[in-house]
Amino acid sequence: GNRGCFSVREWIRNVWNFAKEDSNRVTFSLKVGLAVLLVSLLILFRATYHVFGGTNIIWAILTVAIMFEYTVGATFNRGFNRAIGSLLAGIFAIAVAEVALCTGHVAEPIIIGFSIFFIGAITSFMKLWPSLVPYEYGFRVTLLTFCLIIMSGYRMGNPIRTAMDRLYSIAIGGFVAVLVNVFIFPIWAGEQLHKELVNSFNSVADSLEECVRKYLQDDGSDRPDFAKNVMDEFSDEPAYRKCRETMDSSAKLDNLANSAKWEPPHGRFRHFFYPWSEYVKVGAVLRYCAYEVMALHGVLHSEIQAPYNLRITFQPEIQEASSQAAELIRSLGNDISNMKRSLRTSLLKRVQSSTERLQRAIDMHSYLLTSSHDLLDYSSKSFPCRVVPSNTLSSSASDFSGQLAAEPAGSNRPEPPLNPTLQKAPSETLLPAAAGLQAESYHETMKKQQRRLYSWPSREVDSYEEGTNGEDLPRMRALESTTALSLATFTSLLVEFVARLDHLVEAVDELAKMAKFRNEES
């Protein structure tokens, strides 16, 4: 008793939250109720029932129930489908019925039967045609109405009268549906599209920041199984999930834009031919940017990882670049949301200079990303054909790594936030952390990585017995280099993401121009 009571209460709370989350849901429900009630009144009152042609008025209810959609535009669109479909069906039906009537008693049912088969096959074939798929409902209505009209006409005589009565009551139903939908708390597809696009901007920005934060936080110790992650859809990364929803929302944006085109000017979207299709284009460019975020996320969950210490070495620059980029995206979303155009000079400047700083940091410390001593071992041992003066390089490289190891590992003081004017800061703050890399968990991590990589197809492949013992060393090194290059990949993807933002800015500018957003000096 107590548990059942609790779960009912839980259930009611869920429903309540669902309704509160978007009050349009309740509005929509009540509107549907109202619309069917209004049409029912025509039947409930004896007077109107007889005025509007008796039993046929039932088609008005059917129309309301089928035509009433969530947004104004979708209702118009569906109404259009229904109207054209019914009209075509009516015309076909009357034409066929007249012909059938003239042919006499025997041929009539044959002609009618054949026409039904023909219309059924044609409409079904046409609705499979890619460009006609959105009008699927219209074809269904055509078939349905055609059959009903021609059948009623055959059994009850006077097909034209039947068709007209039916079209008439369908029109009443459509009229009521549109009136209620437009004039009582209308839910505009345009407004929904606008909000949806702004939300997409925010979710891409969130996802970028989340991904970078995780990448820099993660010390590789408690990495959950990837397969598990794929299955529970990365439940500990809410922003990533929202971003994936954004990736999959192209159909949703298309639908909303299609619906919005049917809507008259309303609310904030005051001029005719508002460029709803531009919203879809901006969405496409945004998704194209988001592919890079997906790839960043891929690096985050990659099995081959740069060691934590190496990642943390570039933390200030990565952090800076990503948060500047996120800010730019948010500001773009915000501008769309407020329908204003602002100059993004200072923001663009900051994004660009922070990205440049990241590039420079990577470049300056590129020796960390490649283990140059491997090259020497290769050249001196396995490939005697090389004529490089390897001893010179070799000695200098070992000098250098000795130098690195000699740096005090304990001295990595908390790093100050990077100041744009303080150009020399990176190299001073980076090196101690880099030293720690060599000193402590680096080889540990390497071994773990190796285990991971080599356990890879271990279930079926055992090619390792084939190799000579001498090959073990180079393999290990190939791995070291690859793990470090994973950091290079991460930063390259980040830089590429920033480069793509240019196209996003352009697309948003184009939208702002076409939709006549108001200018505002930020």
Interface with a second copy in residues 468-497 (CB under 8 A): 474-475, 477-482, 485-486, 488-489, 491-493, 495-496
Provide the token pair at 324.
């500047």
Q: According to CB under 8 A, which one of 245, 399, 440, 444 is a site residue for a second copy?
A: 399
**H helix and E strand count, the chain:** 22, 2
Q: According to CB under 8 A, which one of 48, 158, 235, 396 is a site residue for a second copy?
A: 396
**Binding mask of the shown chain, residues 306 to 345, with x at each position contacting a second copy by CB under 8 A:** -------------------------------------xxx
List, in order, residues 6 or more apart from 144 with CB less than 8 Å away.
Answer: 89
Q: Which H or E run includes 126?
A: helix 107-126
**Binding mask of the shown chain, residues 147 to 176, with x at each position contacting a second copy by CB under 8 A:** xx--xx-xxx--------------------
Tokens 């490289």 sit on residue: 397
Interface with a second copy in residues 109-138 (CB under 8 A): 109, 112-113, 116-125, 128-129
42 burial (CB, 10 Å; 0-12 / 13-18 / 19+) is buried
Note whether 245 binds a second copy by CB under 8 A.
no
159 burial (CB, 10 Å; 0-12 / 13-18 / 19+) is buried
- What are 266's strand-pairing partners? 269
The minimum distance between CB 265 and a second copy, in angstroms, equals 27
Count the Cβ atoms, other than its own, within 10 Å of residue 510. Answer: 15
Q: According to CB under 8 A, which one of 12, 44, 95, 179 is a site residue for a second copy?
A: 44
Number of residues engaging a second copy in binding (CB under 8 A): 143
Report how far residue 140's alpha carbon sits from residue 120's, in angstroms, rounded to the nearest whole number: 9
Interface with a second copy in residues 207-226 (CB under 8 A): 226
The minimum distance between CB 326 and a second copy, in angstroms, equals 17
Q: Which stretch binds a second copy (CB under 8 A): 2-10, 256-264, 297-305, 436-444?
A: 297-305
Tokens 């619906």 sit on residue: 259
**Binding mask of the shown chain, residues 266 to 285, with x at each position contacting a second copy by CB under 8 A:** ---------------x--xx
Alpha carbon distance, N-terminus to C-terminus of the chain: 61
Q: Which stretch binds a second copy (CB under 8 A): 268-276, 372-380, 408-416, 432-440?
A: 372-380
Question: Toward a second copy, which CB reaches closer, 29 or 217?
Answer: 29
Helix axis angle for 72-103 and 107-126, nearest 10°, is 150
The minimum distance between CB 267 and a second copy, in angstroms, equals 22
Interface with a second copy in residues 47-76 (CB under 8 A): 49, 55, 58, 61-62, 65-66, 68, 70
What one-character DSSP code corresponds to residue 467? S
Provide the token pair at 461.
């492949």
